[in-house]
Amino acid sequence: MGEGAPTPTSPPPGTARARNRRGEGGRLRDDIVAAAVELLEETGDESSVTLRSIARRVGVAAPSIYRHFPDQPSIMLAVVQQAFAMLETELRSALDAADGGARERLFAVCGA
């Protein structure tokens, strides 16, 4: 995606984000993590993933982030945890789909 391009979780730049309905408070947290991932993928530089850049991407004021994360390192930790959870899912799927003995299962996991 190009710089500043809207994503499925973020509004177009300069657009205020619609307020979550009651019971959807976790949605903003997910949007914050998704925005951090996008910024990291676009720049390849963790220093470009700031509270302000994330807030701009999501369409909220930077202080809104503090309800979900105390600081930028906490957001980066959530990004890493999400990546490892996705990796675990992929590896378990490959293992479950593997036929045969230990060798075949090992190759399936390594291939995944």
Q: What is the pLDDT of residues 26-63, one digit of tens each?
A: 789 999 999 999 999 999 999 999 999 999 999 999 99
3 falls in which pLDDT band (50, 70, 90)? very low
CATH code, residues 25-111: 1.10.357.10
Q: Which residue has the higher pLDDT, 10 or 49?
A: 49
* % of the chain at pLDDT higher than 90: 71
**C-alpha span between 54 and 86 (Å, rounded):** 22
Question: Measuring CA to CA, which residue among 79, 82, 18, 88 is closest to residue 48?
Answer: 79
**C-alpha span between 70 and 63 (Å, rounded):** 10
Domain extents for the chain? 25-111
